[in-house]
């Protein structure tokens, strides 16, 4: 099932890029070699550049062999499309991938500029998606979410806009839900032990100390096992 979904996303990404290119074709942004352009013979280099030097330029690897031949832009596009087919990525993540694959910085910049123009690379949408996902699946607080965004190369302004949706009320509600679930597994432990473990869990997720203290205190005090008869 995962393979089918990945292929479907890849086809959709290719179709979106092809549609955009069809409306504004350019020399370096087509989805493949221009009709009738043919492929250079393997031994032919640029004028004034030895064939060996030309062959050594640009990315290498499976993507290079599978698509684009010696066209560095086509190879870079193939790499980006494959990454986007697996999951959304930030521009910085794609830049790192292209650099690791041996793509020249200028080629990477031109290709990613085009993907950004057609909406296939969108750091703001990606940041908002990441915030919603990490808050829902891991219960991260704002500082934890900010750390995740920074690790993916999201700039501060974009991150701040994405984090604006996480208000104090939402953050407390998430912390209370996490504590309630964890506390259910700590039955029979002394209140101090419960409080220590709950506090450590919230701290790891980036919750501020004042909120941690308030949420944990209220949850432990309200636990039925600690109520006096």
How wide is the angle at C-alpha 40 spanned by C-alphas 36 and 45, nearest 5°? Answer: 140
Nearest to 179 by CA among 146, 154, 207, 144: 207
pLDDT value at 56 more than 50: no
CA-CA distance, 175 to 170, in Å (whole number)? 9
Q: Contact 75/68 with Cβ under 8 angstroms? A: yes
The ranges assigned to domains in the chain are 2-33+44-121, 124-163, 168-226
Per-residue confidence (pLDDT) for residue 227, from 0 to 100:
74
**Distance between CA atoms of 8 and 71, rounded to whole angstroms?**
25
Helix (H, G, I), strand (E, B) or coil at 186: coil
pTM of the model: 0.67
Give, for 10, the enclosing helix (H) or strand (E): helix 2-23
Q: What pLDDT does residue 43 have?
A: 40
Indicate the pLDDT class of residue 19, thresholds 50, 70 and 90: low
pLDDT-based confidence at residue 21 (cuts at 50, 70, 90): low
Q: How far apart are the first and last CA of the chain?
A: 54
pLDDT in tens, 187-210: 889 999 999 999 999 999 999 999
Angle formed by the axes of helices 91-100 and 105-117, to 10°?
150
Question: Average pLDDT of the chain?
Answer: 78
Q: What is the pLDDT of residue 7?
A: 53
The pLDDT tens digits for 95-111 are 999 999 999 999 999 99
- What is the rounded distance in angstroms from the CA atom of residue 92 to the CA atom of residue 98? 10
Q: Which two tokens stand for residue 157?
A: 């302004």
């Amino acid at each position: 099932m995962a393979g089918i979904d990945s292929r479907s996303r890849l086809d959709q990404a290719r179709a979106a890029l092809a549609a955009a290119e069809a409306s504004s074709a350019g020399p370096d942004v087509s989805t493949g070699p221009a009709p009738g352009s043919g492929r250079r013979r393997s031994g032919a280099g640029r004028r004034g550049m030895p064939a060996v030097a030309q062959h050594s330029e640009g990315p290498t690897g499976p993507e290079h062999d599978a698509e684009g031949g010696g066209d560095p832009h086509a190879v870079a596009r193939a790499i980006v499309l494959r990454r986007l087919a697996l999951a959304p990525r930030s521009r910085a993540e794609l830049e790192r991938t292209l650099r690791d694959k041996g793509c020249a910085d200028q080629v990477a910049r031109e290709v990613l500029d085009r993907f950004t123009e057609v909406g296939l690379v969108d750091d703001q949408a990606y940041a908002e998606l990441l915030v919603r996902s990490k808050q829902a699946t891991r219960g991260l607080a704002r500082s934890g979410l900010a750390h995740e965004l920074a690790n993916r190369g999201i700039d501060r302004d974009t991150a701040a806009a994405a984090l604006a949706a996480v208000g104090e009320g939402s953050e407390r509600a998430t912390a209370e839900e996490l504590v309630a679930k964890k506390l259910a597994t700590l039955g029979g432990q002394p209140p101090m032990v419960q409080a220590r473990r709950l506090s450590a869990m919230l701290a790891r997720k980036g919750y501020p100390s004042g909120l941690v203290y308030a949420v944990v205190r209220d949850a432990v005090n309200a636990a039925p096992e600690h109520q006096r008869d």
